[in-house]
Structure 1
């Protein structure tokens, strides 16, 4: 009679999570800053299930004494094979951009 402690249980093999490197790019589209993020498979990257682009724009306000107001925009969360895109409005300048990821 075999006891339960001596039986080997089969554990289903889990697929190894893919690793990705993500990057963000900015260019002008009809005079408006447009940011795009994308992720590619890479052996030295990190685990990513979703990503999005973060764009910080300086919006110019005021006529007599114009001043800039930082405005933060986020693209939609997408899977690694897709691109996340967001655009600033008119009368704005690019301050910074980056990629945000979820594991």
Structure 2
């Protein structure tokens, strides 16, 4: 859904007065349109793995919020055993970017996006 349509429906609800309050509270539920969400990963200048997710309008599924999930491997100890950490980004709306970062001595194991 485009911003023009959202603003027009909000203006219509304000013009309708008391009857429009029902439309105004129903607007966020209708605003959860069809989106295609993807996760991306890269390295920052210090060598830490970063992951972020974005959702764009398309023919995907109905999305109200999304977040990125990253799995990081960390080598610890004298015997160099590997610990796997799963980190979650914040829940954000479809037009925003969810970002999460591993620590400095971590390696990227995997990344994905969760929606609800």
Structure 2, unaligned stretches of length 5 or more?
1-22
Instruction: Give the drift of 1:16.
Output: 7.2
Counterparts of 1:65 and 1:90, CA distance in 2? 19
Determine if the alignment matches structure 1 residue 48 to structure 2 residue 99: no
1:72 aligns with 86
Structure (1/2) with the larger strand percentage: 1
Cα distance change of structure 1 residues 38 and 16 upon mapping to structure 2, 3 Å threshold: closer
Cα distance change of structure 1 residues 58 and 16 upon mapping to structure 2, 3 Å threshold: closer
2:39 aligns with 24
**CA deviation string 1:64-94 (max 9, x = no partner):** 2112111000000000000000000011101
Determine if the alignment matches structure 1 residue 34 to structure 2 residue 50: yes
Give aligned pairs, total. 89
TM-score (norm: length of structure 2): 0.71
Counterparts of 2:65 and 2:75, CA distance in 1? 32
Structure 1, unaligned stretches of length 5 or more?
1-11
Is the contact made by 2:32 and 2:64 (CA closer than 8 Å) also made in structure 1?
no
Counterparts of 2:105 and 2:31, CA distance in 1? 46
Counterparts of 1:49 and 1:17, CA distance in 2? 5
